[in-house]
Amino acid sequence: MPVRVLLFASYAEALGRDEVAFDPADEATIADVLAHLRTLPGADRLPPRPLVAVNARYATVTDAIRSGDEIAIIPPVAGG
């Protein structure tokens, strides 16, 4: 079952969409999600190590992902 990969702000603009589906292999990590994103048009505008989140919590690229997870690639935050 695929995970949802959410894109926001400048990253959504770069890839021309705000959501990507990804069907992870067993024992996949966020690094695998990023590797997949980098195959898409516009991904050259993503930084080498973007902030990432799993299920609305900050995570690290080595974190495992599970079926049904909501992964988010987080551009530099600019609230306030």
Sites of contact with another protein (CB under 8 A): 6, 8-10, 13, 53, 56-58, 72, 74-80
**Cα gap 27→22, rounded to integer Å:** 14
State the greatest distance between any 2 C-alpha atoms of the chain, in Å, as a whole number: 40
> Closer to another protein at the Cβ: 39 or 42?
42
In angstroms, give the least distance from the CB of 55 to another protein.
9
Nearer to another protein, 25 or 56 (CB): 56
Residue 80, SS3? coil
* Residue 10 phi, psi dihedral angles, 5° rounding: -65, -30
CB of 25 or CB of 54, closer to another protein: 54
